[in-house]
Amino acid sequence: MMVKGKLLKLLILGAPGSGKGTISARIVKKYNVVHISSGDKLREHIEKQSALGKEVKKYLNEGALVPDEVMIKFMSEELKKVSNSTWLLDGFPRTISQAEALWKIQPVDVVLNLVVPFEVIIDRISKRWVHLSSGRVYNLDFNKPKIHGKDDVTGEDLVQRPDDKPEAVRKRLEIYETITKPVISFYKKKDILKDFHGSTSDEIWPKVVAHLDTLF
């Protein structure tokens, strides 16, 4: 999609479990943009046991960040493949170095920042199940699969991510507070970031639509 002769590049930010995956899926469907989730891409590599998958597995399982140089190299390659599309980036950048590197490779035009209360996030992650190959996310409270433990579309097994276990969740939230939050300021200074507050994705979604409708 072209806006004023330019392909829009969108970025979504938010703490682990803030609903980035859910909101991204809705954006992709409604506005027909390409979704690039760094977490999903890394999990695919782990699944197929590629060299990169083997290298990053321990970081993901512990809820630690993959080193910047690995991430920047990997994501630069991924972004090259979609340079002719309007895309929505999710999960990258997560550090100031990554944000600076991305700004040099491909500046983003719009940043959506999801702001969800801390207690909501902890509760939500503990009830989250995912379908690994598609990235579809379910929640045992408010977005149950039709058949317990099975993906609605393929019928394949759902799994709990190893980094959704309590110890790893605590670590991911700590990292988010100390290392990833400065990325929000990075984009605020460039005046392209907008906050969206809410406790559920259904509450946040109409606000995102109102904002994106002004752009598309």
Is 201 annotated in a binding site? The answer is yes
Q: Is 91 in the site for ligand ATP (CB under 6 A)?
A: yes
Q: Is 24 in the site for ligand ATP (CB under 6 A)?
A: no
**Interface stretch with ligand ATP, choices 3-11, 57-65, 193-201, 205-213 (CB under 6 A):** 57-65
Q: Is 151 in the site for ligand ATP (CB under 6 A)?
A: no
φ, ψ at 185 (rounded to 5°): -65, -35
Q: Is 17 in the site for ligand ATP (CB under 6 A)?
A: yes
Strands 136-139 and 128-131: antiparallel
**What pairs with residue 122 in β-bridges?**
none
Q: Is 135 in the site for ligand ATP (CB under 6 A)?
A: no
Is 98 annotated in a binding site? The answer is yes
Q: Which of 8, 33, 52, 66 binds ligand ATP (CB under 6 A)?
A: 66
Catalytic residue among 161, 181, 188, 194: 161
HSE, CB side, 13 Å, CA atoms: give it for residue 9.
Answer: 13
Q: Is 23 in the site for ligand ATP (CB under 6 A)?
A: no
Q: Per CB under 6 A, which of residues 160..199 are in contact with ligand ATP?
A: 163, 172
Is 50 annotated in a binding site? The answer is no
Q: Is 35 in the site for ligand ATP (CB under 6 A)?
A: no
Q: Is 60 in the site for ligand ATP (CB under 6 A)?
A: yes
Closest approach of ligand ATP to the CB of residue 8, in Å: 21
The answer to whether 172 is a known catalytic residue is yes
